[in-house]
Structure 1
């Protein structure tokens, strides 16, 4: 079977994959879901963390595995796995973008917002006074990220969310056809996503073709709302 490395998006930590991890392990896979710097249990200050820090953390995990891994990125995690794909191509068997951003060479997350008009994140995001971090207002967590989850799940998530440094979405990736471009990549679209609307997801797939493109009728976080279905899709993509 395969090794999966699961990379979380903004505000989250490795904990967001807690429902997926045992399901994939039951199918015989090895699963690693690290906290990126300043997230989960990592003590780094979010205002100081860079994309290089994120990618180095992913690289450390990839270099520790016994085989090239399936690298999965959710949401802003798509930026992270894109740069990791360039830096550590030899340690990756496939990239899987889960309703995730795919910036092109020289682009940052903020450059690839076509089709993102009306994103719920714009409504519920709170920027710090110094502009170095952002959070999500508590009553916006469910409509933005977890619209199809029960209130108990949303409450559990809220306890674990952390501030997101604003350096990351402003940092462009540097990729080449010979490294990132040669890696097989798949995309899982979430058709009811309010944070990254479907049109934005389709924009990514148009500009950076993925095969296959899988559709799930969920909001932004199928690892919580439909973990069994998501685990089945990931298993099939191994």
Structure 2
């Protein structure tokens, strides 16, 4: 019988919970519980973009979801692309509620530099818009957002997508070098939208992580 875990899936910028539908179905079929969230003004979230004033507003659905967990439940937190910023802030806020954080070809900040330094010059994000969004660079420029005591206490796994044309493999490897996670996995031939192009391979990696952590 599968060792059932609870996965919380966090989408990247301009997307929504919809992008996880293939992976969510596969994980549920394997016996896991899955929560795929729409962040503020994303997906079917009713708020307009001009009603989301800060990254805290954007991440409210994620933070509320984790805060509502039973006191003895811990989740596997998965972030894709810009969702890596969101799960990092969730790690800082709820380190005791997270079994492991998985960065899927995602921005992975560290405690040395403000998170905004990773994206300040990444204009390619603006070319990938599916739904208008914000980067909240001013919020992410604060140096005290992440700490070793909280963010640093959560186990991290990075999944490299070697054919990603948005977050190039060299950039993924640079983030890994600057803040080494416990484990690095690589999925050959995976592009940026791995959850749609290689859902079976991604699901297998997530299941392996669930078994290990």
For this structure pair, what is the TM-score category when the shorter chain's length is used for normalisation?
Answer: 0.7 to 0.9
Asked if 1:188 corresponds to 2:159, the answer is: yes
Structure 1 residue 113: Cα displacement: 5.5
Match of 1:179 among 143, 147, 150: 150
Question: For residues 183 and 87 of structure 1, what CA distance do their matches in structure 2 show?
Answer: 11
Question: For residues 208 and 77 of structure 1, what CA distance do their matches in structure 2 show?
Answer: 17
Structure 1 residue 197: Cα displacement: 0.5
1:113-139 CA deviation, whole Å, 9 max, x = no partner? 59x9xx7x62x835xxxxxxxx63xxx
Unpaired runs of at least 5, structure 2:
none
1:165-190 CA deviation, whole Å, 9 max, x = no partner? 23258623601111110100000000
* Residues 10 and 98 (structure 1), Cα distance of their counterparts in 2 relative to 1, 3 Å cut: same
Question: For residues 22 and 186 of structure 1, what CA distance do their matches in structure 2 show?
Answer: 22
Give the structure 1 partner of residue 179 of structure 2: 208
Asked if 1:16 corresponds to 2:16, the answer is: no
* Residues 91 and 175 (structure 1), Cα distance of their counterparts in 2 relative to 1, 3 Å cut: same
Unpaired runs of at least 5, structure 1:
127-134, 137-160
1:90-111 CA deviation, whole Å, 9 max, x = no partner? 21111000000012235134x1
1:187-225 CA deviation, whole Å, 9 max, x = no partner? 000001000001110111111111210111211011000
Tell me the C-alpha RMSD between the 2 structures. Answer: 2.2
Matches within 5 A, 1:91-110: 91-105=97-111, 107-109=114-116
TM-score normalized with structure 1 length: 0.77
Give the structure 2 partner of residue 226 of structure 1: 198
Give the structure 1 partner of residue 63 of structure 2: 59
Q: Is the 8 A contact 2:82 2:107 kept in 1?
A: yes
Asked if 1:81 corresponds to 2:87, the answer is: yes
Match of 2:38 among 35, 40, 56: 35
**Helix, strand or coil: the match of 1:33?**
strand
**Helix, strand or coil: the match of 2:170?**
helix
Structure 1 residue 83: Cα displacement: 0.6
Question: For residues 48 and 83 of structure 1, what CA distance do their matches in structure 2 show?
Answer: 21
Q: Is the 8 A contact 1:48 1:165 kept in 2?
A: no
Q: Which moved more, 1:191-200 or 1:98-107?
A: 98-107
Q: Is the 8 A contact 1:74 1:97 kept in 2?
A: yes
Q: Which moved more, 1:209-218 or 1:189-198?
A: 209-218
Q: Is the 8 A contact 1:47 1:165 kept in 2?
A: no
Give the structure 1 partner of residue 132 of structure 2: 163
